[in-house]
Structure 1
Amino acid sequence: MVTCKLLLSVLFLCYCTNTNAQEYYKNLNIIPYPSTLTPGEGYFVINAQTTLIAPSRFVNGAAQLNKLVKAGTGHTLIQGKSNPTNTVKFVYDGSIKNPEAYRLNITTKHIIITAGTPAGAFHAVETIRQLLPVSVETGQKNTQVSLPSVNIDDQPAYAWRGMHLDVSRHFFSISYLKKFIDVMALYKMNKFHLHLTDDQGWRVEIKKYPKLTEQGAWRTFNNQDSACMKRAADNPDFNMDQKHIIHKNGKTLYGGFYTQQQLKDLVAYAANRHIDIIPEIDMPGHMMAAINAYPFLTCDSQNKWGELFSTPICPCSETTFEFAKNVYTEIMDIFPSKYIHIGGDEVDRRDWGKSEACKELMKREGITSLPDLQNYFIDRMEQFFNSKGRKLIGWDEVLEGKISSTAMIMYWRSWVPDAPVKAAQHGNQVIMTPGTPLYFDNPADKNSISNVYHFNPVPQNLTAEQAKLIIGAQANIWTEYIPSEKRADYMYMPRMTALAELLWTNKQDYYKSYTQRLVQQYSRLEALNINYRQPDLEGVLDTRVFITSDTVKVNSPLSTSAIRYTTNGDLPGQNSPLLRNYVVNHPQTIKLAAFTPSGKRGDIYTVKYVQQTLAQPVTATGVATGLAANYYKGFFKGASGITQGAADSTFVTQTISVPASVKAPSFAIKYRGYIDVPKDGVYTFYLTCDDSGILNVANRETVNNDGMHSPMEKSGQVALKKGLQPFALDFVEGGGGYTLKLQYSINGNEREDVPESWFKHNQ
């Protein structure tokens, strides 16, 4: 086994012969990358004689560093003794104004950590942690460990660097929440938004209202559970967690809740890692679990589902406000956070309009609309929060009525792009959490990490002063289809690392360096027992075309991974054949998966091999540039389900994209015409859409990206001769995404956008 010291010696030999030393250091294994990093020479060795000096204000950071050193070497740093060499020293500097900033100076003689706050010192230790060998995570002992000489001056670009976890749809243990917090700390995230209540479950003990957890924390299996159970046949990560299933009164129930003491302990655990837990108790909508226990909360004591959402609590009854204030009083006793999230999203207000009490209140208060009635509730709750020294956060729907400029807005509805702009112009602070690309419950694909990394939190059309009100961003994890802790790991990691670097470093030209550093991070994630999503295999297409034969060529970005395959429909396992020069000479379907040395299986890829001859071109007269498009208003379940009938409008387009003029939340477009293929060959098409799309070229189904989903890329091939080839693309937008993109490559060349000059249609 190569020792850490020897490995670093090799690395520094590479560094000394590197013509661009700064580029080498940009690839040091640190995520998020520091604001500035200047390389030094040599390395600092931590051994049994290394001493530690730390003022009392930095006791937490010093303890964390000692914990890492002990895990990696078996001994602790000698505290309180000053040596001219072999010393780690924490230094206070009150001139450092950013509360999370730090300076880290590592030479061959010492490590000096300088900060103005305990948070800054802790972040410096987390940087050191990533420079230390992975053995510090596993407890595998080395006599000594080494750190490269560097000089780092670091601070975050954004104050709000958040992660959200919904524990109401599917429940997660306290131990998992602590693990989640530990990973956040490793990557310098600082806000943990804990979504504690919703229609499907109430997860926090409220002593004044015990039925909230006695009844509201438990439910029978629902349709989302059934969907997970079905998927578990191919992926055990979808198995329901047996720890959260009980049998009571002849029923099988799923659920659970946290006691107030458990949550207080969790708050302390997070605070020790300089992470603020922001609780969300969603009101006035998403309250079915509470209403089942206390029916008086609605305007008519009824609790049902409307067309889209459940019955909300009644904003026209003082008993509702008494309940809300009592609940939040106990919440504030558990969570000392300055911020409290009230939700305020997806409220079905129709029952309010039928209520005599609401009609009376609206008349008395001069309220002219139901959205303003909702904000009457929000405003009163904000006043209550403010009286307790807290600040209210609401989802961006609260902007639909009159909202105060002191409320904080969390923007999520990517199909309402002007919402964060209006909020900032109104003077509200804004946290960006748009569904695309920051809903990490949406399935990931090969573009997901890049989409997160290149997301710009600051919308256009803001002045410099207004832009300062965009205080950061967070990723949200909604758990309707995330029934296990392993599945939760898979959905957020490694996407969270891209968000961490975006919000801390905010240098998009570092993306290539980031992808190289990310590959090095996987061994640490595995050591931390995180069920991360492995990087996408290179060279995989959903449908692959061959004329006579084809050799399967697939690579993994992880050199240590082994790719195994099956051809009989079974899922690849550790005993399946290794992929080595497999030749396809007849139509078949191959399943592929990468396996790490520990046996962790990555995504399963299903590749359909189709044998084709080159499609003959067609002859057409009177063609013009562009594609003919038929536009249909309404909701369709998928591209395969577009109703045949008169289009609401027709137009000619030169590009494959959602027209800027389209404003309907849900619609379908059929693109028809030809592509003028410039030469013979096997063409690959890459179709990205939100929600659904099916591409046919030369009357052959080429890409099937059907189904209602977030932006996702699917690919396929078709064999074409030069000339006009029939082209048909059916696209459905279910609401919110507005993503449609088509690219191509030929004979394995680099992909690019389909040229506008290729598109033709009959006049």
Structure 2
Amino acid sequence: MKYFSYLLCVMVLVFSACSGNKEKTFSKDEITLIPKPAEMKLNKGSFEFTKETGFVVQGSQQKEIAGLLNAKFKSAAGWEMKILEENPDANFIQFKENKDLKDEAYNLEVKKDKIVIEAGSSSGYIYGVETLRQLLPLELESDEKVGDVAWQIPQLTIKDEPRFKWRGLMLDVSRHFFEKEYVLKTIDRLAFLKMNTLHLHLVDDQGWRIEIKKYPKLTEVGAFRVDQEEKHWDARSDNDPDEKGTYGGFYTQEDIKEIVAYAGKHGIDVVPEIEMPAHVTSAIAAYPELSCAGEPVAVPSGGLWPITDIYCAGKDETFDFLEDVLLEVMELFPSKYIHVGGDEATKTEWEKCEDCQRRIREEGLAGVDELQSYFIQRMEEFISSHDRVLIGWDEILEGGLAPGATVMSWRGTKGGWEASEQGHDVIMTPGSHVYFNFYQGDFDTEPMAFSGFTPLSKVYEFDPVVDSMSTAQKKHVLGGQANLWSEFISTTERSEYMLFPRLAALSEVLWTPEENKDWADFSRRMHVMFKRFDKMNINYAMSAYSVTAESEVDATSGEIKIILKNEFPDSEIRYTLNDENIDESSSVYNEPIQVDSSSLLRAAVFENGKAKGDTLVKDFHFHKAVGAKVTYNPIYNDSYTGVGENTAVNVIRATKNFHDGQWLGWLGEDVEAILELDEKVKVEKVKVGAMENQGSGIYFPVKATAFLSKDGKNYKKAGSVSRDFKVNGAIGLKDFEIEVEPQEAKFIKVKVETYKGLPGKGKAWLFLDEIIVE
């Protein structure tokens, strides 16, 4: 009996060992590549990676590229594929040269017994490997060994190449400094999505981030500022030039060499940006003689506007300095392109500077705009003499464009259109679609950002080519780029949150043929990509799952109609209209919701019985003054009119987005609002809803007082609430509650006092939404 049991066990083991994993046939829905390939044909069957699989390569460069995938297998599977120089009989991956393919193109053929990646360049091989990575199970991204995984991919053929040659991301490491390790991690992720350009914004007013041997004070002084991180970026005070900065950092030249080398192995071109003539207060703090006035300045701790401390265009010493800096920069960066900024220069110092005015006369220039053109053209001549190409923001068009310059169009696409018409190459990076420092979800729940709104679906709508361009103009469009300005981004976790998943959408926009783009299909693939992001430990935003509500009041019935939306097509939205928690049994949203009494709305997207993303919470409070007649003294500012006089009593609450159309605004004025009700009511409490966003000049009121009347003539003070000014780095919403002795009234007068403590900085905005009577 013991012998029979032993024999049975041996037979089972042998059978198991011989059979291996059952060959799988994949469906199209299981192919979730981002960006979507140009051409793909799915075949039956699969290829399985094992510890016996070989990688056939020629030379050290191909071996390095194979190592990108091998490193993943080593972590997740505990083994590496063999590196071979000749093809075995089966079970191998081969790099095969095909010089007929374009620079970044690749062909991928997966059969049962082998995989062949054809390319004419190292980039093509890298993208073929990254495609294999995405075809493999999610567990490949694990940092630890995982068991019971069939490392199978579908048999298929792919013919793929990018739509645009410039597929970029700009990281602003000046406003907030990010360590080298995060830059290297970002390079990995760019390659994963077949992006090919990392634009490093190394210089701005708030920090100089690159070591320049000839000018050590650029980093000794310019790389550090006084720490005011507790304040809103745009509400920080001026610094004393003699006070030593402690907040900041910089990359040594060895750091830069490591970043550039690492990027090269991943097919990424690193483009340095050395700003000029403006956004350089950090440099002038280090070397004041570079400015027109030559007076000491401090590195600013936060927002700076207007930017008047700029390089002097009249001194030859300025150009000597910049040429010295660029020589060191070009030694470190092999990139064909050098970005010089060129944006947002306020030229008031040039207008009164004797050196600048002399330059204007000697060069026969019409004024300071042409002086900026002279400045950029002079730098373009220097850069092109070193076989590089100058890039500047679209302001370099002003006064005349340097002959060999490439324009990066950020103020919409107009600048790119004009530059392409003049025969210049352009890179489209409009704030409307690819500024990733803008909000991507509900302003009330998202981390603080710039006030623009760029959700995932809007990124996917982006196209670098403008319809009105001629055929010749379209050929000058190199591609597009996302920009992540870091004023409100102080950590790498926040940076990741703002980049992902929007970077995935942009990668498809810039890689995939226009006719292959499809938002519904991308959404399907994105659901799976989120799971891969989990395995990759990316702190991505789930904002695309969030529910948004559009509310409007029916003027006749007084009911509120609520329309719920989500970015992803056919999302399952569930909601409640009471104070109950939302779950998989809650009502499914199918049509607009009608509300005619106080209700607390909760809504969320559900997937497989689980809520995804943030739950939307909206309070619709039908208080005693809803629909009352309201008069204001003074009337609200023309820029912030809400929905008119009824704004303060229409139940719909405004959000942290002060452009949402539900705010009434006054600039530097105290406000008196009188509410006339249909009949006398018992009043116990009055609330005044307000916003604070100190960076945008919006401040909470310092006092609110309620007066009650039965006849609209004789008012009696009923109560008030005061609040002392506080530094507030966040955006706040607050109801100022005024407790009153219970009494009847038909008229409620509310006086709201605005904050007036901004000496030398203009007037404060007062923003009000709802005046609630209970």
2:196 to 161, 185, 190: 190
Q: Is the 8 A contact 1:544 1:610 kept in 2?
A: no
- CA-based RMSD of the aligned residues comes to 4.7
Pick which of 135-144 and 49-58 moved more. Answer: 135-144
- In structure 2, the CA distance between the partners of 1:586 and 1:269, relative to structure 1 (3 Å rule), is same
Shift in Å at residue 552 of structure 1? 14
Query: Cα distance, 1:466 vs. partner?
Result: 1.2
Distance 1:692 1:562, change over 3 A: closer
Matched, 1:693 2:658: no
1:515-534: per-residue Cα shift (whole Å, max 9, x none)?
Answer: 10011011111111111001
Taking every aligned residue pair, what percent have the same amino acid on both sides? 33
User: 2:57 matched to which residue of 1?
Assistant: 54
Is 1:219 the equivalent of 2:225?
yes
- Looking at structure 2, the residues matched to 85 and 641 of structure 1 have their Cα atoms a distance apart, in angstroms, of 82
Distance 2:403 2:658 in 1: 33
Pairing partner for 1:431 from 427, 434, 441: 427
Determine the C-alpha separation between the residues in 1 that align with 2:295 and 2:578. Answer: 54
1:316 aligns with 2:314: yes
Of 84, 93, 118, 1:88 maps to 93
Inter-partner Cα distance in structure 1 for 2:123 and 2:256: 22
Selected match of 2:332 from 331, 334, 343:
334
User: Is residue 340–residue 391 contact of structure 2 (8 Å, CA) maintained in 1?
Assistant: yes
CA distance in 2, matches of 1:32, 1:566: 40
Preserved contact between residue 542 and residue 608 of structure 1 (Cα < 8 Å)? no
**Aligned equivalent of 1:12, options 25, 29, 36:** 25
> What SS does the aligned partner of 1:209 have?
coil
**Aligned residue number for residue 216 of structure 2:** 210
Q: CA deviation at 1:85?
A: 2.3
Deviations 1:44-93 (A, max 9, x none): 01112222211225222222222233333222222325333212111111
Aligned counterpart for 2:458 among listed residues 451, 463, 468: 451
Displacement after TM superposition at 1:358 (Å): 1.4
SS at match of 1:404: coil
SS in 1 for 2:25: helix
2:524 paired residue number: 516
Distance 1:643 1:35, change over 3 A: farther
Contact 2:582 2:603 in 1 (8 A): no
1:630-649 correspondence to structure 2 within 5 Å:
644=635
- 2:276 maps to which residue? 283
Aligned equivalent of 2:44, options 41, 44, 63: 41
Distance 1:548 1:297 in 2: 64
| Counterpart mapping for 1:56-71 below 5 A | 56=59, 57-71=61-75
Q: Is contact 2:200–2:273 with CA below 8 Å preserved after alignment?
A: yes
Tell me which of 478, 484, 493 is aligned to 1:486.
Answer: 493
Shift of the alpha carbon at 1:155?
Answer: 0.2
The two structures have a TM-score, normalised by structure 1, of: 0.71
| CA shift for structure 1 position 313 | 0.7
Counterpart residue identity of residue 610, structure 1: H
Distance in 2 of aligned mates of 1:556 and 1:506: 22
Is contact 2:583–2:611 with CA below 8 Å preserved after alignment?
A: no
Structure 1 residue 331 displacement after superposition: 1.0
- Structure 1 residues 616 and 594: alpha-carbon distance in aligned structure 2, compared to 1, 3 A threshold: closer
Q: CA–CA distance in 2 between the matches of 1:593 and 1:197?
A: 42
Greater shift, 525-534 or 472-481, is seen at 525-534
Counterpart residue type for residue 294 of structure 2: S
| Gap change, CA 1:538 and 1:413, over 3 Å in 2 | closer
The amino acid that maps onto 2:278 is G
| Matched residue, 2:404 | 406
Give the counterpart letter for 1:481 in structure 2. Answer: F
Residue in structure 2 matched with residue 269 of structure 1 by the alignment: 262
Mark the CA change 1:441 to 1:549 in structure 2 (over 3 Å): closer, same or farther: closer
Residues 180-208 of structure 1: per-residue CA shift (max 9 Å, x gap): 11110100000000001111111111111
Quickly say closer, same or farther: Cα 1:85–1:565, change in 2 above 3 A.
Answer: farther
Q: Does the CA contact (< 8 Å) of 1:102 and 1:153 recur in 2? A: yes
The separation in 1 between residues aligned to 2:212 and 2:332, in whole angstroms, is 10
Cα 1:158–1:582 change in 2 (3 A) is closer
TM-score normalised to structure 2 length: 0.70
Give 1:610's match in structure 2, choosing from 621, 624, 641: 621
Listed one character per residue, the Cα deviations across residues 706-733 of structure 1 (whole Å, up to 9, x for unaligned) are 9899xxxxxxxxxxxxxxxxxxxxxxxx
Report what 2:468 is aligned to: 461
Out of 69, 73, 86, the position equivalent to 2:77 is 73
Give 5+ residue unaligned stretches, structure 1: 1-5, 16-23, 231-248, 569-575, 619-639, 648-666, 675-681, 710-763
Q: Are 2:367 and 1:361 equivalent residues in the alignment? A: no
SS of the aligned residue for 2:459 comes to helix
Q: Mark the runs of 5 or more structure 2 residues left unpaired by the alignment.
A: 1-18, 236-241, 443-453, 588-594, 665-675, 678-688, 697-774
Deviations 1:543-581 (A, max 9, x none): 69999999999999899999999999xxxxxxx977365
Kept in 2: contact 1:47–1:145 (CA 8 A): yes
- Higher-Rg member (1/2): 2
Selected match of 1:418 from 414, 417, 435: 414
Q: Any idea what the Cα deviations from partners look like across 1:219-260, whole Å, max 9, x if unmatched?
A: 1134x6513799xxxxxxxxxxxxxxxxxx997731111111
Residues 617 and 581 of structure 1, relative CA distance in 2, 3 Å threshold = farther
Partner AA of 1:12 in structure 2: T
Tell me how far 1:108 sits from its aligned partner: 1.1
Deviations 1:252-291 (A, max 9, x none): 7311111110111011011110101101111110111111
In structure 2, the partner of 1:28 is 31
Give the secondary-structure state (helix, strand or coil) at the position aligned to 1:385: helix
Quick one: which amino acid aligns to residue 135 of structure 2? L
Distance 1:539 1:164, change over 3 A: closer
Aligned residues: 613
Among 507, 522, 525, the residue aligned to 2:533 = 525
Q: Give the letter for the 1:442 counterpart.
A: F
The answer on whether the counterparts of 2:575 and 2:586 sit within 8 Å (CA) in structure 1 is no
Residues 641-664 of structure 1 show CA distances to partners (whole Å, capped at 9, x for unaligned) of 9984998xxxxxxxxxxxxxxxxx
Q: 1:164 Cα shift? A: 0.4
